[in-house]
């Protein structure tokens, strides 16, 4: 018996890249198996933005719908202040020891509004 797992990595707004790749995978699965992503995989998991994609797939969203979500709502989910923190390498060094690079609740309200 085969158990098919889809694992999606994080990366903030770069999740749109994963969504575009998923769009190609989705087309192949439809053509070869006649199934949608949520039907084909036995387990769908993700971290950070990957968990947003995984939740969308579990809610029967298509890859195209996920791409639209990122294009239309990405700035509300991934706040500008958090996105710009990545540019400052010295902050990574400082926060590396505290275990915090992105404040966990920075995008919480934006994500809640989108959902």
- CB crowding 16-50: b at 16 or more within 10 Å, else e: bebbeebeeebeebeeeeeebbbebbeebebebbb
Three-point CA angle 3, 65, 52, nearest 5°: 60
Query: pTM score, two decimals?
Result: 0.72
Predicted pLDDT of residue 75: 79
Helices (H), 34-107: 37-40, 49-58, 63-77, 80-85, 89-96
- Whole-angstrom distance, CA of residue 35 vs CA of residue 43: 15
Predicted pLDDT of residue 96: 55
Give me the tens of pLDDT residue by residue for the chain, a chain 115 residues long: 899 999 999 888 888 999 999 999 999 999 999 999 999 999 999 998 899 999 999 999 999 999 999 888 887 777 665 545 555 555 555 555 545 445 555 556 666 666 6
DSSP string, 19-37: HHHHHHHHHHHHHHHS--H
Is 57 in contact with 38 (CB distance < 8 Å)? yes
Domain definitions of the chain by residue range: 5-78+109-114
Predicted pLDDT of residue 104: 54
């Amino acid at each position: 018996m085969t158990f098919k797992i889809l694992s999606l990595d994080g990366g903030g707004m770069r999740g749109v890249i994963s969504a575009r790749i998923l769009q190609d995978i989705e087309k192949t699965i439809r053509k070869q198996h006649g199934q949608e992503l949520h039907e084909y995989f036995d387990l769908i998991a993700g971290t950070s933005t990957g968990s947003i994609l995984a939740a969308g797939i579990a809610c029967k969203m298509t890859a195209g719908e996920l791409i639209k979500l990122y294009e239309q709502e990405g700035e509300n989910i991934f706040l500008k202040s958090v996105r710009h923190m990545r540019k400052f390498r010295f902050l990574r060094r400082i926060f590396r020891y505290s275990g915090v690079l992105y404040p966990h609740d920075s995008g919480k309200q934006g994500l809640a509004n989108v959902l």
